[in-house]
Structure 1
Amino acid sequence: MKTPPKNRFSRALRTARAARKISQEGFGEVSGRTYISQLERGERQATLSKIDDLATVLAVHPGSLVLLSYLPDRPTPDAVDRLLAQIRREALHLLAPDPAT
Structure 2
Amino acid sequence: MSTAEQIKVIARWQSASGAIGRVLSIIAELRPKSLAEPGCLGYEVYMGVDTPGSLLLLESYRDKAALEAHRQSEHYQSLVVKRALPLLKDRRVEFLREQDLA
TM surpasses 0.5: no
Richer in strand (by share): 2
Say which one has the larger Rg: 1
- TM-score after normalising by structure 2: 0.28
Query: Greater helix percent: which structure?
Result: 1
